[in-house]
Amino acid sequence: MFDPVIAPSGTLLGLLQRGRGDGTLHALAAPRAEALAALNHCVLHDPRHDWQVENRSLYYARLYLDLHGGLEAIEHHLCDTDDLCDTDEARTGLALAVLGHLASYGRADALVLLRRYAERGANWAWALDELALRDDDAGLRSLAVPILARFPSTAEGNAELAVTVRDAFEPRPWRLWADDPRESVGPRVRAAQESGSFDRWQRQMRPSGPRPGWSVQAVFDWADQGLERGAALHVPAARCLSAVAGTNDRPAILAAARAGTDGARCASLHYLAESRDPAVLDLIEAAVSYGSRTVCDAAVAAFERMCGTEAVDRARGWVHRPDALGRSAAGVLACRGDAGDGRLVLGALRETVRADGPDAPMLFTLVDGTGRLGITCAAPVLRHIYRETASSQLRGRAARALAATDGSFPTGFAVECLWDCEETTREVAARHAATGDVRVAERLRRLAADPAEEAEVQTAVRSRMGPDAPVG
């Protein structure tokens, strides 16, 4: 899947793509046709860089309800001929998730469309998962025959069915179908369930990896073999070293960390970092300066896992380095530094935004650090990140940092955050938004009554609406 093209943050489309609360507020104030066009564009062309951690479906579903939007565009997208050749779940996943939320709000047309797509669509398993949470037993039972027809009654088809049943995210439909009295449904699903259970048992009886009695060199060999297969086993190998290494093995581990093969070197660096060996920081610096890219990345990761004062002290000396270790040192100070490190963290925050833009991965840690350290003069940079980032997760972190550093947050960004796509951001807003704004009290009441809202958000709302709630 290609990276999405994100419109400027000052446009309606850009606001909706980012999942900002202002997107909803602007859409409700815009001409309905324009708002629906922007909304449909977002749902049919998923704007998220990482759909596995960023939320949009409930945000878009609520806007469909507020705009009284029809589902014609989603239906055309799901039933398009592209669905036959482009089976990537990212093409249809967001649309199906939106339909699921609409169905939970009582939209019968969304439920019908989900059922139809589950029968005929390429991403049928996702649609079935949505229905498993929202449909009634009769609706799910009606899908048994068309779903099972996807699996031929051959050895290969039955094996594929067994894997599908075993790995199903929502098991409810399969359990219903296992009790179906029809000869072509119930017995076949039960056989698939039994086959999947037997397969899991077999895998448990044939574990791969370390065995009791392994030597340090055997662990090194295992780590090297993992790299040859493209699997980074540095961290589990380090845990194995913790189990098998004795005091007499330290020289061999130090030698491997200094000049061993890549797998052994990475595992040794992680092991030495976990055990807080006095030589590890020098070895990490050497690995970053002279090691391969794999070793460099492992050395930086090992350093970031260290939590002792010696790591923080060394980070203060490394933070000015123009390489990965310098960036990592800034992150360590953001996570574990003290108030005296605020200037260094702020400098790293500004430089990262200037050099890499408002979506740089390093900003997650630095933004958290500005809030943790209470760096009030970072508020202008945090506001810029909040407005411009395409990541709703990073925007939420910026909101939390602003709540700790910016006195204008309760009357500013906190208000729009009540409509944000991320529940954690709505929770922050529910705790901080000034209730003097008439929109805030109404929004809090709506969130409290919404059955689709997360429990944490509703708890925060109740803390503001109860008899002992503070006046904001």
Q: Is 214 exposed, middle or buried (0-12, 13-18, 19+ CB in 10 A)?
A: middle
pLDDT of residue 471: 44
Structure tokens at 275: 């055990």
Low pLDDT (below 50) residues in the chain: 1, 198, 201, 204-205, 212, 471-472
Amino acid at 16: L
Alpha-carbon distance 159 to 13, whole Å?
45
pLDDT of residue 431: 94
pLDDT of residue 126: 95
The beta-carbon contacts of 80-84 under 8 Å, at least 24 apart in sequence, are 83/121, 83/122, 83/123, 84/122
Number of residues that make up the chain = 472
pLDDT of residue 254: 94
Q: Which of 104, 161, 95, 165 is nearest to 127 (CA)?
A: 95
If one counts every other C-beta atom within 10 angstroms of the C-beta of residue 248, the result is 8
Place of tokens 């938004």: 433
Dihedral sign (CA 265, 268, 274, 276) = negative
Alpha helices by DSSP H, 374-465 = 379-388, 392-405, 413-417, 423-432, 438-449, 455-465
Alpha-carbon distance 320 to 323, whole Å?
9
Q: Where are the domains of the chain?
A: 12-135, 216-393, 407-472
Alpha-carbon distance values, 368 to 18, 72, 379 (Å): 20, 42, 12
- pLDDT tens-place string over residues 157-199: 888 999 999 888 899 999 999 998 988 888 898 988 887 554 5
Give ∠ CA 354-357-362 in degrees, rounded to 5: 95
Pick one of 1.25.10.10, 3.40.109.10, 1.10.10.10, 3.20.20.70 as the CATH number of 216-393: 1.25.10.10
DSSP one-letter code for 411: G
3-state secondary structure at position 306: coil
Q: Going by C-beta distance under 8 Å and a sequence separation of 6 or more, which residues neighbour residue 311?
A: 281, 303, 332, 336
If one counts every other C-beta atom within 10 angstroms of the C-beta of residue 203, the result is 10
Alpha-carbon distance 219 to 200, whole Å?
26
276 dihedral zone (left: phi>0; alpha: psi -120 to 50; beta) = left
Alpha-carbon distance 199 to 211, whole Å?
22
Q: Give backbone dihedrals phi and psi of 152, rounded to 5 degrees, phi first.
A: -60, 150
If one counts every other C-beta atom within 10 angstroms of the C-beta of residue 438, the result is 8
